[in-house]
Amino acid sequence: MRVSQMLRTVWLLVGFSVCASAIAEERILSFHSQIAIAADASMQVREEIAVVAEGNDIRRGIYRDFPTDYTDRYGNAYRVDFDLIGVSRDGHPEPSHTARRTNGVRVYIGSEDILLPPGRHAYTLEYTTRRQIGFFADHDELYWNVTGNGWVFPIDRASAVVLLPEPVPAAQISALGFTGSTGSTAGDYTATVDTGRVEISTTAPLGANQGLTLVVSWPKGVVSEPGNWQRLVYLLQDNRGLLLASAALLLSWLYLHLAWQRVGRDPAPGVIFPRYEPPAGYSPASARYIWRMGYDGKVLAAAV
């Protein structure tokens, strides 16, 4: 009897331990993004991220990676804008700073000298970005990775709402979604299209390094397409390094050309007239050497 009670107690303790470890696992409980598209093609994004922190990977806070370097459909490299508006945790402002990464910006959230209390925390990020809209012949489109695929934690639920600047009829809006790792075409999501807005949410949890991507398209004319002048500005911005290198090369050539014009160019010849005697102080051999710019047999003969 006593042995059976001990076994029962052990199994209960094991069960409680398993449940506690499952509950305490660090994870993203929900990731919701509101994407407001303006008429000038800029976007204001508000992300609400609820996490469970246990002091393992989430000790002082979290970070959010935002890619900024892309290649367009023509193979041209370009960089989008990213401006952080503010960050909060549990409804209160939270310290944050940004740092450049290989292909984007990382937002660090939290204080270096303050450990995060274990438990649930709700983070909110707000930022603006430009050059995210794709302009095509018969429609415009937003291709947007809602969550990013760099999280090392599972995401229980991800969702997003896209707000257009005009009340576009639902019949003129299309919405697609993809879930899973980078390049995945899985479709574990539901989408609702309404006048001027699209809502999308996952129907299954996302694993580590998995995310939710949406593709929303609408008729042309709702969002302003960049003009020729703006495209030129973007071109110069995207090729700043090449532009600086070309300018440096041009300045170097200009400097060398001016220097040659000033000190390297032979002086203009004067009036040429015959001289029947060698210049004073120069022997026939010296004159021959200067004229030939080197020795030959006649220089030696003249010297003798």
**CA dist., res. 83 & res. 129, Å (int):** 6
**CA dist., res. 124 & res. 32, Å (int):** 10
pLDDT of residue 4: 54
pLDDT of residue 278: 64
**CA dist., res. 54 & res. 22, Å (int):** 12
Per-block mean pLDDT, blocks of 10 residues, the chain (304 long) = 50 45 77 98 98 94 93 82 96 95 93 93 98 94 96 97 98 97 92 98 97 97 87 71 72 78 72 71 76 73 67
SS3 256: helix
**CA dist., res. 200 & res. 52, Å (int):** 23
Q: How far is CA 249 from CA 1, 245, 257, 294, in A?
A: 92, 6, 12, 38
What is the CB neighbour count within 10 angstroms for residue 143?
Answer: 14
**CA dist., res. 22 & res. 106, Å (int):** 29
Torsion sign (Cα): 228, 231, 237, 241: negative
Q: Which of 119, 125, 116, 121 is nearest to 32 (CA)?
A: 125
Q: What is the pTM of this model?
A: 0.73
Structure tokens belonging to residue 285 = 């051999």
What is the CB neighbour count within 10 angstroms for residue 219?
Answer: 14
Q: Which of 31, 15, 23 is nearest to 54 (CA)?
A: 23
